[in-house]
Amino acid sequence: GMAYLVRRLLENTANESILRRQFLGKQSLDELLKPSTVESAPLSPTLSSTRCNEEATGALGRGKGEGEPEFTNEPHTDFARAEARKRMRAALATVRTTLGRRIDPAFPVPRGLTRPTLTPRNPAKPEEVVGVVSAAVPQDVDEAVARAVASGRSWAATSAADRIEVVAKAADLLRRRRFELAALEVFEVGKGWRDADADVAEAIDFLEYYRRQMRRLAEPIRLGTLPGELNHLLYRARGVVAVLSPWNFPLAIPTGMVGAALVTGNAVVFKPSERSPVTGHALVEVFREAGLPDGVLQFLPGEPEAGRRLVAHPDVPVIAFTGSKAVGLQIIAAAAQVSPGQREVKKVVAEMGGKNAIIVDDTADLDEAVAGVSASFLGYQGQKCSACSRAIVLDAIHDAFVERLVEAARSVRMGPPEEPGTGLGPLIDQRAVQKVLEYLALAQQEGTPALLPDPARRSGPNFVGPAVVTNIRPEHRLAREEIFGPVLVVLRARDFDEALAFANSTEYALTGGLFSRSPRNIARAREEFLVGNLYINRGITGALVGRQPFGGGRLSGIGAKAGGPDYLLQFVSSSVISENTLRRGFSPECS
């Protein structure tokens, strides 16, 4: 029938089909019948996506060095392979033996003061302490900035080629320690195997991408061609960059911010989330092993007070932050205040979360839509700023979609993230659990729960099952506020116009999605669905460096997109040098 015809058309017109390669590519039958081979890295072999990556990133090749391959994304590990599972289990066993170790900062304890400690715990087993980290006191902030200022001068004067080399070595070290770092994330922040591995892969991507982009920025840009005048635009480091990173991507996000600041010649004071300081310390160790000079990267674990003091410091001209809207807006407000001794207007780069929606119209493939929405709201328990928390479904298919979505969510396996088959793990801690439970109580008032967490499926105090809530309107709190958990609200829309209005009705504009087979609706979404990252007929999480630079508008953040070609510009200042080349006279003593 028609389905068989379509299948044969797809098979025989594909770029890699034998017919196409024989008749258009003029390849011989002997060559076509050779066994296929896939070359892959020993630690992370998965997908033969190189060709797609090269096509998607070809325009970014301006940043590569001579003889250097163009940027391609690091493949994710294929845990269907026995070798990969064996290595991950070995890494988990090794990292478990290091849990509870003490990490002290490089600052002397001020007289008369006792340092507080951060004790991150395994979200799946809260009785298990991952590390004991000495937290910074206010004097440490001043000391860290002073050291960064002193070391930063020579680092800024270091050639771009040498800085790029350090970043390249750091990327190689991340590859070498890939399973170890992924295992650490399993214990410290409760990520499952695939999510943890993807976080390490993204960290590698940031370093590889930014070092290539720095090659382009390092060259002065010639402006104009007027005879007798030479004009150049060049970029210089800003000084000290404060990096404040979140716990939900404890390696990738700080690696991107720290790597961008370092490769452009800045010194960095790095304050990781108090929930993930051990992974943050591992990142600092990687840069030190890569040859970063002492003092250029300062590690400053601490409570929020340390972050506030760092943001307000007069010698910190750039602040890179990822976290909640509330904290981000506080940072922006604090950065607008000029402190005594401050000589520069502070630059803030902030990503602050979202209330992301996926529209499902009445032409959508429901199999794809259910799978895409499920993965987008349940991935890492919904603890992603890009996660889907609103599904906007057209009236004609609303009931069928909800029924299938509930069954899909109910079938996800909940359990410890140490196990490879786990689909839904724990929330980060009890604060997160209580927040989700409060919203679930609100769901009973504002809407109609189609699925609530089953207490019998809980594997520990931090586990909360998936929830789907229907009969929600755009004005409800559940449709406006970021929940950060496995909770999805479903809004019923009369038509595509109303669906777009619902999608654009919040103060956030980070990610969004559309499942549709209507060219007209897809075209309208491209123009009218106003978000930083719009995904069509796929899930809305998992942006890839260089292919889907990430960042939003409205109250989702300010600054250029992470993993994009203009991201490094936020960490430099530009200067124009204009020289009159028409000499008048000659001075021997000046020659």
What confidence tens digit (pLDDT) does each residue in 479-520 have?
Answer: 999 999 999 999 999 999 999 999 999 999 999 999 999 999
Q: Give the pLDDT mean for 534-551.
A: 98
The answer on pLDDT for 71 being more than 60 is: yes
pLDDT of residue 56: 35
Q: Which two tokens stand for residue 303?
A: 């409570």
Lowest average pLDDT, out of 220-229, 312-321, 502-511, goes to 220-229
pLDDT confidence of 46, banded at 50, 70, 90? Answer: very low
pTM reported for the whole predicted model: 0.89
What sections of 266-359 are H helices per DSSP?
277-289, 304-312, 325-335
pLDDT of residue 584: 67
pLDDT of residue 41: 39
Chain segment 431-449, per-residue pLDDT in tens? 999 999 999 999 999 999 9
Q: Give the pLDDT mean for 25-52.
A: 50
Residue 79 host element (H or E): none
Q: Give the pLDDT mean for 24-31.
A: 69
DSSP category for residue 163: H
**CA angle, 268 then 250 then 280, to 5°:** 50
The answer on pLDDT for 51 being more than 90 is: no
Say how far apart CA 459 and CA 190 lie, in whole Å.
Answer: 13
Q: Which of 520, 545, 433, 423 is nearest to 483 (CA)?
A: 433
Q: Give the pLDDT mean for 84-97.
A: 99
pLDDT of residue 61: 37
Q: Which of 104, 196, 210 is nearest to 560 (CA)?
A: 210
Say how far apart CA 373 and CA 323 lie, in whole Å.
Answer: 23
pLDDT confidence of 196, banded at 50, 70, 90? Answer: very high
**Site of tokens 């504009």:** 509
pLDDT of residue 20: 64
pLDDT of residue 16: 65
Q: Give the pLDDT mean for 566-580.
A: 98
Q: Are 188 and 279 in contact (CB under 8 A)?
A: yes
Residue-wise DSSP of 553-567: EETTEESSPBTSTTG
pLDDT above 70: percentage of residues in the chain: 89
Residue 568: how many other CB atoms lie within 10 Å: 22
**Mean of per-residue pLDDT scores for the chain:** 92
Say how far apart CA 320 and CA 118 lie, in whole Å.
Answer: 22
Using the Cα atoms of residue 127, residue 133, residue 138 and residue 141 in order, give the sign of their dihedral.
Answer: negative
pLDDT confidence of 589, banded at 50, 70, 90? Answer: low
Q: Give the pLDDT mean for 48-65.
A: 39
Superfamily of domain 136-352+556-575: Aldehyde Dehydrogenase; Chain A, domain 1 (3.40.605.10)
pLDDT of residue 68: 81
pLDDT confidence of 58, banded at 50, 70, 90? Answer: very low
pLDDT confidence of 54, banded at 50, 70, 90? Answer: very low
Q: Which of 548, 552, 541 is nearest to 565 (CA)?
A: 548
The answer on pLDDT for 44 being more than 70 is: no
> Three-state SS for 60?
helix
pLDDT confidence of 588, banded at 50, 70, 90? Answer: low
Q: Give the pLDDT mean for 92-119.
A: 89
> Three-state SS for 62?
helix
Q: How many residues does the chain have?
A: 591
The answer on pLDDT for 43 being more than 50 is: no
Q: Which two tokens stand for residue 99?
A: 């849990």
Chain segment 273-294, per-residue pLDDT in tens? 999 999 999 999 999 999 999 9
Q: Which of 255, 293, 301, 286 is nearest to 102 (CA)?
A: 301
Q: Which of 453, 157, 406, 101 is nearest to 281 (CA)?
A: 101
Which segments of the chain belong to CATH 3.40.309.10?
Answer: 356-536
pLDDT confidence of 25, banded at 50, 70, 90? Answer: low
Q: Which of 163, 260, 165, 208 is nearest to 73 (CA)?
A: 208
pLDDT confidence of 3, banded at 50, 70, 90? Answer: confident
Q: Give the pLDDT mean for 165-173.
A: 99
pLDDT above 90: percentage of residues in the chain: 83
Residue 228 host element (H or E): none
DSSP category for residue 135: P
Any idea which residues carry the catalytic annotation? 351, 385
pLDDT confidence of 5, banded at 50, 70, 90? Answer: confident
The answer on pLDDT for 39 being more than 50 is: no
pLDDT of residue 363: 98
Lowest average pLDDT, out of 65-69, 243-247, 403-407, goes to 65-69
CATH class of 356-536: alpha beta
Which segments of the chain belong to CATH 3.40.605.10?
Answer: 136-352+556-575
